[in-house]
């Protein structure tokens, strides 16, 4: 066993998640009264830091999309099949300690993809999501600007395939009356149709309604 201090107990606020890093594994500490939990510190959804979340009732809530984990156990309340790993932790005087060997053994089975060196590297989402297919390109542009793409941005040698062009279905027209504003519902309007040059006098008149 290799003991390592991760926090000063007297400085850990009750039910306020606190982050720690051991080897390359993010941890989250939750103090509840005189007890404590040390869990894997990354959300199982898209890897947000759980120390950026909050505690509500018995749950540690991810700050991004609200996934919830019981802070006693790390088990998700919403889906019990999901669980943040829970690591051994104990107090020695005012030191909150964990076993670095235990965490490194876990890390071997769960290699961590996070590179904390680049700008905002600790907050990157290594999984991506089909609902946000452009995030990796946006992140790359944020990191590198147009340095490697050129000032026109991404281009391909043979133009753009038809399937990638905007389609009429992608465009939504919101119709509106521009000449004058429509009347409100309660305003009486004539619904007569008058056909013929004589108007009421000489023509055919039909009433609606
Ligand atoms: S990253 Fe935690 S809920 Fe989405």
- Provide the pLDDT for residue 24: 93
- Provide the pLDDT for residue 209: 40
CA of 33: how far to CAs of 15, 36, 130, 167, 170, in Å?
8, 8, 41, 58, 54
Kindly give the distance from the C-alpha atom of residue 61 to the centroid of ligand 1, in angstroms, as a whole number. Answer: 9
CA of 39: how far to CAs of 93, 101, 104, 158, in Å?
21, 15, 14, 51
Judge if the beta carbon of residue 122 lies within 6 A of ligand 1: no
- Provide the pLDDT for residue 117: 83
Kindly give the distance from the C-alpha atom of residue 67 to the centroid of ligand 1, in angstroms, as a whole number. Answer: 6
What tens digit of pLDDT does each residue of 125-160 get? Answer: 777 778 777 777 887 887 788 888 888 877 777 777
Q: Which atom of ligand 1 is nearest to the CA of 48?
A: 1
Q: Which residues of the chain form CATH 2.102.10.10?
A: 3-109
3-state DSSP assignment of residue 83:
strand
- Provide the pLDDT for residue 21: 96
Judge if the beta carbon of residue 45 lies within 6 A of ligand 1: yes
Mean pLDDT per 10-residue run, the chain (209 residues)?
96 97 97 97 94 96 95 93 96 97 97 84 78 79 82 74 79 70 82 73 49
Judge if the beta carbon of residue 65 lies within 6 A of ligand 1: yes
Q: 3-109: which CATH architecture?
A: 3-layer Sandwich (2.102)
Q: Which atom of ligand 1 is nearest to the CA of 66?
A: 3
């Amino acid at each position: 066993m290799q003991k390592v201090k991760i926090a000063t107990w007297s400085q850990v606020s009750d039910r306020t998640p606190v982050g720690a890093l051991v080897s390359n594994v993010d941890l989250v500490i939750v103090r509840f009264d005189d007890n404590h939990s040390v869990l894997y510190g990354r959300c199982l959804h898209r890897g947000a830091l759980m120390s950026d979340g909050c505690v509500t009732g018995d749950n540690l809530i991810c700050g991004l999309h609200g996934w919830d984990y019981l802070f006693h156990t790390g088990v998700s309340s919403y889906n019990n099949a999901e669980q943040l790993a829970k690591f051994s932790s104990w107090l020695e005087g005012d030191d909150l300690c964990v076993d670095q060997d235990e965490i490194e053994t876990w890390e071997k089975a769960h290699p961590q993809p996070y590179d904390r060196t680049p700008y905002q590297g600790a907050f990157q989402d290594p999984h991506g999501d089909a609902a946000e297919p452009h995030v990796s390109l946006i992140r790359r542009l944020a990191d590198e600007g147009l340095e490697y793409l050129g000032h026109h941005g991404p281009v391909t040698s043979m133009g753009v395939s038809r399937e990638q062009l905007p389609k009429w279905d992608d465009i939504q027209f919101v119709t509106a009356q521009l000449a004058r504003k429509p009347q409100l519902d309660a305003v009486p309007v004539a619904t007569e149709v008058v056909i013929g040059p004589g108007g009421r006098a000489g023509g055919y008149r039909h009433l609606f309604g």
